[in-house]
């Protein structure tokens, strides 16, 4: 197989044809944020980066992909998109939310420091992530300023940060792999067993789908 980029052309995409073609979907992170009207949130602060075309393309694609049985791994912005697609909402500034820690990186540091381990997460017992590692509280990176407020419907919490912020979830009773994580498991994936296990689990389900279509 080979990777393809899904263009942000919501009005021109045939979702059924697309989902019949691909063997898996990875929703990446981004410097942009979901427009707040998608979750009935307050207006963003000035100079907040948005990507309306991505919102229009990805939000309906998520639930269709899960229903279609296409493996889905959502990372960072993709994780937040997944929550909104299932009716959840977003903290636009986690560091200003009551009881929450500051999850932003120090942008004055180099990229290796910014994406280094930041905090541990507590995994849900017998959850999707817990079955991928022997660690009860694995270390993860933290390079986000927005985060989960209200959890979307039909989502099971898979991991929480020390301050209680939801950092990972899966879709309840999904037909296939459907996981979202707030951190970036693709960072130095070959060096970090927990991150590697996540990508391998996703890749395995994509491989299986490719061989059963």
pLDDT, one tens digit per residue, over 15-72 is: 999 999 999 999 999 999 999 999 999 999 999 999 999 999 999 999 999 999 999 9
CATH code assigned to 12-210: 3.40.50.880
- The per-residue pLDDT for 106 is 97
Q: What is the pLDDT of residues 195-209, one digit of tens each?
A: 999 999 999 999 999
Question: Average pLDDT in the 160-188 region?
Answer: 98
Which of 103, 158, 184, 206 is catalytic? The answer is 184
Half-sphere exposure of 93 (CA within 13 A, CB side): 7
User: What band does 192 get if pLDDT is binned at 50, 70 and 90?
Assistant: very high
3-state secondary structure of 123: strand
Half-sphere exposure of 18 (CA within 13 A, CB side): 20
User: What band does 1 get if pLDDT is binned at 50, 70 and 90?
Assistant: confident
Which of 35, 76, 91, 144 is catalytic? The answer is 76
Which of 64, 93, 135, 186 is catalytic? The answer is 186
- The per-residue pLDDT for 213 is 80
- Is residue 8 over pLDDT 90? yes
* Pairwise CA distance, residues 34 & 51, whole Å: 7
Place of tokens 């929480």: 160
3-state secondary structure of 92: coil
Residue 125 or 2, more confident? 125
Question: Are 155 and 128 spatial neighbours (Cβ–Cβ below 8 Å)?
Answer: no
User: What band does 137 get if pLDDT is binned at 50, 70 and 90?
Assistant: very high
Question: Are 196 and 189 spatial neighbours (Cβ–Cβ below 8 Å)?
Answer: yes
DSSP state at residue 130: G
Place of tokens 């004055």: 108
Question: Average pLDDT in the 119-131 region?
Answer: 98
* Pairwise CA distance, residues 44 & 41, whole Å: 8
User: What band does 176 get if pLDDT is binned at 50, 70 and 90?
Assistant: very high
> Model pTM?
0.97
Active site (annotated) includes residue 184: yes
3-state secondary structure of 198: helix
Closest CA to 56 of 109, 9, 6: 9
Half-sphere exposure of 100 (CA within 13 A, CB side): 21
Helices (H), 71-181: 77-85, 111-114
Q: What angle do CA 180, 171, 14 make, to 5 degrees?
A: 85
Active site (annotated) includes residue 186: yes
- Is residue 135 over pLDDT 90? yes
């Amino acid at each position: 197989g080979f990777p393809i980029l899904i263009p942000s052309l919501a009005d021109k995409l045939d979702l059924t044809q697309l989902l019949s073609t691909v063997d898996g979907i990875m929703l990446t992170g981004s410097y942009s944020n979901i427009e707040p009207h998608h979750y009935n949130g307050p207006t963003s602060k000035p100079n907040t980066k948005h990507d309306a075309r991505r919102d229009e393309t990805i939000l309906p694609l998520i639930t269709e992909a899960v229903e279609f049985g296409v493996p889905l791994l959502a990372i960072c912005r993709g994780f937040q998109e997944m929550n909104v697609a299932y009716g959840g909402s977003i903290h636009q500034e986690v560091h200003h939310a009551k009881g929450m820690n500051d999850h932003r990186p120090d942008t004055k540091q180099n990229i290796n420091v910014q994406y280094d381990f930041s905090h541990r997460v507590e995994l849900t017992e017998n959850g999707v992530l817990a079955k991928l590692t022997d660690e009860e509280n694995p270390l993860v990176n933290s390079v986000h300023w927005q985060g989960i407020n209200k959890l979307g419907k039909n989502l099971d919490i898979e991991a929480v940060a020390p301050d209680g912020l939801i950092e990972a979830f899966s879709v309840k009773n999904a037909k296939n792999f459907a996981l979202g994580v707030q951190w970036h498991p693709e960072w130095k994936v070959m060096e970090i067993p927990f991150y590697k296990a996540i990508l391998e689990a996703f890749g395995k389900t994509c491989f299986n789908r490719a061989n059963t279509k």
